Structure formats: C-alpha cells, structure tokens
Structure 1
Amino acid sequence: MSAVPSTTPTDSSGRPVRLGLRENWPQFTLLVIVNVCVGGLVGLERTTVPLIGADTFHLTSDLAVFSFIIAFGLTKAVTNLAAGALTARFRRKQLLTAGWLIGVPVPFALAWAPSWGWIVAANVLLGLNQGLAWSMTVNMKIDLVGPARRGLATGLNEAAGYTAVGVTALLTGYLATSYGLRPVPELIGVVFVAAGLALTLVVRDTAAHVVLELAQHAAPLPTGEDTGLKATFARTSWRDRSLRGASQAGLVNNLNDGLTWGVFPLLFTDHGIGLAAVGLIKGLYPILWGLGQILTGHLADRVGRKPLIVTGMLVQAAGFVLALVLLDRPLLAGIASAIALGLGTAMVYPTLIASISDHAHPAWRANALGTYRFWRDAGYAAGALVAGILADAVGLEATVIAAAALTAVSGLLAARWITERRTGTR
C-alpha cells in the first residue's frame, strides 16, 4: 500500500491512515503491551483461587469451588457478544477504557474478600473487564493490519495476553509459598490495572482504519445482507459451516482451560505436590500457549487455518491423556500435560480468530468475532460446570478422561466443517 488514495480517511490526529503492521507498528506495539496487562489481571487467579476456596473458605463441593470460573466465563461470554454490537455505538477506545475502569476493584476484592461470595462477585467484574478490554485489543489490531496479516496480528495479541497469564500464575504460586494464599499474590494485579488504564489513554482509536478497509475490500457487501447482531449470531453459530466449526472448537478449547483452571490445582495437590509446583504447571501451560502463538499465527497465514486447528485440538486431547498416564509421578504428569495443552492451544487460538475474520465481511466482522468469542468464553463456564458436576460424582480423574474425549471429537468436527478462505479474498 505505497500510495494513499485521495479518499483515504484520517485518524484522530488528522493524519492519513494506512493498513499494515509496518505502517502501524507504534500503535500495534502499544496495544500488545495493553494486552499484557489484560492477561496479567486474569492470571492472578490461575494458581491460588481454587485453593482459596478449598483451604480458606473450606468449600467441600468441587462445583462450589469452581463457581468463580462459571461467573467469570458467563460474564465474559455475554460481554464479548455485546462488545461486537457496542462497537456500532461507541468507539473501540471508549470500550477499552470502560473495561479497565470496571477492573479496578478486582485485585483488592481477591486479596481481602471476607466471603466466597465476594470472590464470585469479583469474577463478574473480571469477566466484564476481560470481555471489553481483550475484545477491543483484538479488534483494534485486526483493524490496523488489514486482511493479509490477520493470523500474525491475532497471534501476537494472544501471545502477549496468555504469556502474561502464565507468568503471573507462576509468580503467584511462588509468592503464595512465601507469603500465603492472600493478600500478597493478588495485589500485583494493582500494577496491571494502573498500567493498562494509563496506556489505554494514549491509544488512538481505529475507526478510520475500518473505513479504509471497507473502501478497499475486494468483495462489496451483498445488497440487502443483514449485518445486525441477530443475523450475524445465527450465521456464525450454525448457518455457516466454517463459522460453526470454528465456534464449537473455540468453545471446547476454553472448556478445557476452564476445566484445568479448577481441576489441576486440586488434582495435583491431592497427589502431594506443593504450591510452587502447582504454580509451575499452571504457569507453563499459558506461557507455551502464549509464546507459541507468535509462530502459529504467522504459520496460519502461510499454510492455512484448518490444519493447525484440527491438529491443535488433537494435541490438547493427548495432553489430558498424559496427565493420567503419568499421574503416579504427579510433577512429571503436570509438566507433560501442560506442554501438550500449551502447544495444542497455541495452534488453535489465533488461528480460530483469523478463520472467523476470513469468513466475515468487515461490515459484520465485529459482530462475528463477538459471537465467536461468546461461544469460546462460554466454554470457561461450561468447563467449570461440567468439571464440578463430574468431579463431585465420579472424581477428578474421570473428569480429565471426559475432557480428552470431548476435545478429540471437537477436532474431528472442525475437520469436517471448516473450509479455507484465504485472507483478502472475501
């Protein structure tokens, strides 16, 4: 894009906008750092909160312990869906700022909650924060780079967020070993909230980039095509085979994450490992998930979406099998499982977002991404609910077996339903 057409829109500073990673690297980099803060805030909970429920508040039901994940997942899912529609009324920067303001009380509530109900309420706020803030960083990066580099853009975004999740989970595990489950591990979240809000204030909105992409788009919007949320929800959820295939894979992927979030700390501490080791297991999974997306996002732009999605789901299923096969050596089991789950999720996560973007016209892409992210993050709640019910009924190990089977089936469905649409062809 060496030439700027006379009709090229301008940004908030009056400068002509261009699409591309190189052309927009300062803003793109700033948004990557913002998403580090977004991921760091949710990473506070990965190691300690299930153990707080069991040890501090003496919850005896696994379903009750996992209730905070259900609250988080449901809230984030609905917020993701609303975020797509809200972009038609509000600028992305406004929604990103609102997400950070809502997240301000979260670390304080986790640190000093007087009852489990406060923890659950904090996770409602956390779900709102993540739904708005993470959704907007994804949308804004896709806006900036244009169609040709979507895989790389989403890979870098998710890499930043989930590496921060993993590093924070690892750090909170070590802090909990030295200082207890509360309040020290949770208060590092104050840094993430303050930094994220401050950086958001200097981010420029990307509305002009969307206008430019619409003007340059290879295929005009078909006459009479409904771009509203209701029509896009139906199209993304079940009417379009590829969008349906990506949505179900996203749901099962995060079902796995929600399940491991609640089950793994309890499973491995039951088998004799300590908080630092749990922190290592819970940190390694999202660190590999995060860093791996830099490569897999780029790879998805070169080899296509479907091979990575199908392979990634099957690798995740193998990760659950490893957790059980090696359980008589629990630290090895946790590490091996975390590696497989992290690498499998790295293949899937940015690729699914890119696949949705490939099949969605820019006029309804925000709603399609919102719908996909609704189903994907509903997986957190589904995973915690399924895990809680199965763990109470048949035990933690049987719950892991069920997760492995479900993940393998999801990979096969993705293989059947998803088709390729190379970037920039719609």
Structure 2
Amino acid sequence: MSGDRSRPAATTSGTTSDGTPDGTSDAALAALHRRTLRVLVGSQVLAGAGLAAGVTVGALLAEDMLGTRGLAGLPAALFTLGSAAAAVGVGRLSQRLGRRPGLTAGYAVGAVGGALVVLAAALDSVALLLPALLLYGSGTATNLQARYAGADLAPAERRGRAVSTVLVATTLGAVVGPNLVGVMGQVASAIGVRPLAGPFLLASLAYAGAAVVVWTRLRPDPLLAARAAAATEGTAGPAGPAAATPAHPGAPASTGRDLPALRLAATAMVVTQLVMVAVMTMTPLHMRDHGHGLAATGLVISVHVAAMYLPSPVSGRLADRYGRRPVVAAAGAVLLAAGVLAALAPPDSVTVLAVALALLGLGWNLGLVGGTTMLTDAVPLADRARTQGDVDLGVALAGAGAGIGSGVVVAFSSFAALGLSGGLLALAMVPALLAGRRRVEDPVR
C-alpha cells in the first residue's frame, strides 16, 4: 500500500503476513472496515473524556483567572480557534500520510495543551493559559476528524451508519467526564492546583491514551487502503466518492465534486456548531448565577453531551434510509426548539434546562451526521481528507465566534436573548436547503 510504511507485506490470500486485510478484495476491505471501526471506537471512548473538560469548566476557569464575565467565553473561543488550526493540520497530514499519523498527532497536541492548562492554573498565569487553550483545541478537532476515518471504507449506502458508529463511541467518555468534575477538582486541590483545572488533567491523560490507541492499532490505514483499492480497480472503488458509488438510486454519476451538496453540507455543520457552542458555553455561568452548584452543572452538561453523541446510530440510519437533506432539515427544527426552551426555562429548574440542552445536543448531532455524510458523498477520494479538514476549519471558526459572542450577548443582554438568537439562527439552514434542492437533481438528497 503506497505511503503506508507500517503495513506488512501482502500475501496472495487477501491478508497481510500478520493476518490483517491487504485491501485488495471486497471481503478484505469489509474486514478492514470493521477493524477500523473497532479501533476508532476505543480511541473515541478515551477522547470523549478529554472533550468534555473545556465544555464543563472552561468558562468558569476563565472567569476565575481573568476576573471578568465579559471574557468568560474566551476559553471556548480559544480552544475552538485551536481546533480550527488543527482541523486543517490533521486534514492535510491525513491527506499526505493517512489517517493514523494525522489523528495521532492531533490527539498528542491536545494532550500537551491540557497539561499546560493545568500548569497555567497552578502558576496563575493568564499568559500561559491562552496558548494552552489553543493547543487543547487540537483534541477537539481530532475527535471530530475521526468520524471521517470511519467512513473511508464504508459503502456509500452505509456511510451514515459508519459515521454514527464513531460518534456514538464518544458518548461514554463525554458523559462520564463532566460527572468527574468534583473528583478531579479534589485531585487538583491535592496537588496544589485550582479545582477548576482538574478536568483538564483528565483531558490530558485521555487524549494521550487516544493517541496511543490510534498509533498502535489503526493499521493498515483506512484512507490509504481505500486509495489502494481504488487504484487496483482503476475506478473510485467501493470507498470512492458517492458519484462513483451512488448513495441512492438515480443519483447522477460524476467524477468531480458535487458543489451544491458540498456547500449545503458545510452550511449545515457551520450553523449547528455555532448555535450549539453559543448556548452551551454560557449555560454553566447561567446556572451558577442562579445558585446551582458544580454537580448540577455537570449533570446538565452530561445530558447535553449524551444527546450530542448517543442518538448517532438513529441519525446515521435516517441519513442512509431517507437521505441527508431531511436529516439536516430536522437539525434546524430541533435547534430552534432548543433555543426557545432555553430562553423560557425557569432559572431554578435544572430539569427544564437539561431538556433544552438535550435538544441542543440532538440538533447538533443531526446536523453533523447529515452534513458529514453529505460532504463525504460530494467529494472525490483523491482530495477528500483535505476538503474535510477545510470544512472543519469553517466549523471551528464558527464555534470560536460563538464562544466570544455568547459572552458578549449575555453580558449586555441575557441568557434568554442568547437562546432565542441561537434558535432563530438555526433557521438559516432553511434557505440553504431550498436552494440546494433546486440545484440538485435528486430532490430527496
């Protein structure tokens, strides 16, 4: 397999000398796809715990160290900017060398960032905190980039389910992580660090573990295997673009990009990320302002993160069965409901706020699964990883803007205004859906 130096020599039986598939037959590709998903599931369970740290206490740590409410959204903005840079870096590295080096490097940088956040809190150094949060964002980007690796070898009609399998694996770590806020705070206090830095210690260890799993187990590399299969067949192959392997009957054949679908996929993911980050970032501060403790905050964020990832199998099946476009449309409707409910939730009701944040997570999941599958369908295999990284750059930049803007909106208005604004913004996907429907031959997709 060109470019994969770690891969053992192939044998004539369709497997390598260590018993793994050589990627030259349909059966071997299917077996490698299953193996890839198992490895990604393992790494995502670990990475999910790292992802949850900044979500749960990032704004609280910033307010504590910076001493101002107006900049409480800065951590979300910084690690989202770091995520933007990492999305491009991981995408480019994956394009050149494969998913394994790209994902490993991204997780490793995130682990370093988490450790530096803990050090910054110990030293009370804002100057160190800011670049540390940028590096920490690499783990977030890599966590999301892993979903593309799950789809590299998937047949077009099962791409939604492949993406969802990787996403749902994040649930365990991401739900457990926020509920360890108190425990990790005690650990941090025991070593002389601010309790709010404790979750970042967990994040550093979790991302480091994910890097080890990917580096040692993700071989043969799924992206390189897909390219080798395509080269062997002389076509796009079973892992090629949807244009070569139609995602649905009657889809037009083409070897180039489906630009209308690509634009719609990017719009869906950007809007869902923006709305989700804006409301989620300010929720811990809103709850603290109304007398809720860290345990209640951790519970609400756990519910939110579970809703971000746990519905993935259903979202993936819906995308494969009914099309990508209806799933994206559902995302807009659910996000609107989430914003309105968050705005109307009684300040003393943890239950109502948890439901609102659950809807927020569900809307994000529908937008991400629908958009990711549509994007993978629309882009040829030859430049798929690079394009995926570029789109995730836009997604991360949208999240960064939401992180900064959410603090400003709440500081000068209210959390209710933020929720309503986010819900209305979700309607921005409707014009894109209508425009895309007019320009794409298949109205379902």
Q: Tell me the TM-score range normalised by the shorter chain.
A: 0.7 to 0.9
Counterparts of 1:108-119 in structure 2 under 5 Å?
108-113=115-120, 114-119=124-129
Note if 1:45 corresponds to 2:54: yes
**In the superposition, relative to structure 1, how do residues 99 and 221 fare at CA in structure 2: closer, same or farther (>3 Å)?**
closer
Partner Cα distance (1:263, 1:198) in 2: 33
**In the superposition, relative to structure 1, how do residues 53 and 127 fare at CA in structure 2: closer, same or farther (>3 Å)?**
closer
Note if 1:260 corresponds to 2:286: no
User: Do the aligned partners of 1:166 and 1:287 also contact (CA within 8 Å) in 2?
Assistant: yes
Amino acid of the structure 2 residue aligned with 1:322: L
Structure 2 residues without counterparts, runs of 5 or longer? 1-10, 244-255
Q: 1:128 offset after TM fit, Å?
A: 2.7
Q: 1:119 offset after TM fit, Å?
A: 2.8
Note if 1:297 corresponds to 2:316: yes
**In the superposition, relative to structure 1, how do residues 272 and 415 fare at CA in structure 2: closer, same or farther (>3 Å)?**
farther
TM-score relative to the length of structure 2: 0.80
Number of the residue aligned with 2:229: 212
**In the superposition, relative to structure 1, how do residues 21 and 139 fare at CA in structure 2: closer, same or farther (>3 Å)?**
same
**In the superposition, relative to structure 1, how do residues 259 and 187 fare at CA in structure 2: closer, same or farther (>3 Å)?**
same
**3-state DSSP of counterpart to 2:316:** helix
Amino acid of the structure 2 residue aligned with 1:48: V
Note if 1:193 corresponds to 2:207: yes
Number of the residue aligned with 2:67: 59
Note if 1:202 corresponds to 2:212: no
Number of the residue aligned with 1:404: 423
Q: 1:315 offset after TM fit, Å?
A: 0.5
Q: 1:117 offset after TM fit, Å?
A: 3.4
User: Do the aligned partners of 2:54 and 2:75 also contact (CA within 8 Å) in 1?
Assistant: no
Two-structure CA RMSD over aligned residues (Å): 3.2
TM-score relative to the length of structure 1: 0.84
Counterparts of 1:10-409 in structure 2 under 5 Å?
15-17=21-23, 18=25, 24-54=33-63, 56-62=64-70, 64-113=71-120, 114-132=124-142, 134-135=144-145, 137-172=146-181, 176=185, 181-200=195-214, 201-204=216-219, 205-206=221-222, 207-213=224-230, 215=233, 216-217=235-236, 240-409=259-428
**In the superposition, relative to structure 1, how do residues 86 and 12 fare at CA in structure 2: closer, same or farther (>3 Å)?**
farther
Quick one: percent identity of the two aligned structures? Answer: 22
**In the superposition, relative to structure 1, how do residues 9 and 384 fare at CA in structure 2: closer, same or farther (>3 Å)?**
farther
Q: 1:171 offset after TM fit, Å?
A: 2.6
User: Do the aligned partners of 2:376 and 2:384 also contact (CA within 8 Å) in 1?
Assistant: yes
User: Do the aligned partners of 1:82 and 1:370 also contact (CA within 8 Å) in 2?
Assistant: yes
Structure 1 residues without counterparts, runs of 5 or longer? 1-5, 223-234
User: Do the aligned partners of 2:114 and 2:133 also contact (CA within 8 Å) in 1?
Assistant: no
Instruction: Count how many residue pairs are aligned between Structure 1 and Structure 2.
Output: 401
Partner Cα distance (2:129, 2:286) in 1: 21
Partner Cα distance (1:246, 1:73) in 2: 20
Structure with larger RCO (C-alpha < 8 A, sep 6+): 1
Q: 1:22 offset after TM fit, Å?
A: 5.2
User: Do the aligned partners of 2:107 and 2:138 also contact (CA within 8 Å) in 1?
Assistant: no
User: Do the aligned partners of 1:173 and 1:280 also contact (CA within 8 Å) in 2?
Assistant: no
**In the superposition, relative to structure 1, how do residues 195 and 177 fare at CA in structure 2: closer, same or farther (>3 Å)?**
closer
Q: 1:326 offset after TM fit, Å?
A: 2.1
Partner Cα distance (1:256, 1:275) in 2: 23
Deviations 1:63-118 (A, max 9, x none): x2211211211221232234333334323212222223323323333334222333
**3-state DSSP of counterpart to 2:148:** helix
User: Do the aligned partners of 2:95 and 2:386 also contact (CA within 8 Å) in 1?
Assistant: no
Partner Cα distance (1:335, 1:47) in 2: 14
Q: 1:363 offset after TM fit, Å?
A: 1.6
Amino acid of the structure 2 residue aligned with 1:407: A
Q: 1:277 offset after TM fit, Å?
A: 0.9
User: Do the aligned partners of 2:266 and 2:391 also contact (CA within 8 Å) in 1?
Assistant: yes
User: Do the aligned partners of 2:150 and 2:163 also contact (CA within 8 Å) in 1?
Assistant: yes
Amino acid of the structure 2 residue aligned with 1:50: A
User: Do the aligned partners of 2:90 and 2:105 also contact (CA within 8 Å) in 1?
Assistant: no
**In the superposition, relative to structure 1, how do residues 26 and 69 fare at CA in structure 2: closer, same or farther (>3 Å)?**
same
Partner Cα distance (2:263, 2:157) in 1: 23
User: Do the aligned partners of 1:48 and 1:173 also contact (CA within 8 Å) in 2?
Assistant: no
**3-state DSSP of counterpart to 1:44:** helix
Q: 1:310 offset after TM fit, Å?
A: 0.6
Partner Cα distance (1:41, 1:357) in 2: 26
**In the superposition, relative to structure 1, how do residues 416 and 329 fare at CA in structure 2: closer, same or farther (>3 Å)?**
farther
**In the superposition, relative to structure 1, how do residues 9 and 86 fare at CA in structure 2: closer, same or farther (>3 Å)?**
farther
User: Do the aligned partners of 2:86 and 2:138 also contact (CA within 8 Å) in 1?
Assistant: yes
Q: 1:420 offset after TM fit, Å?
A: 6.9
Q: 1:309 offset after TM fit, Å?
A: 0.7
Deviations 1:26-62 (A, max 9, x none): 33201111122222212111211211222x3252142
**In the superposition, relative to structure 1, how do residues 293 and 399 fare at CA in structure 2: closer, same or farther (>3 Å)?**
same
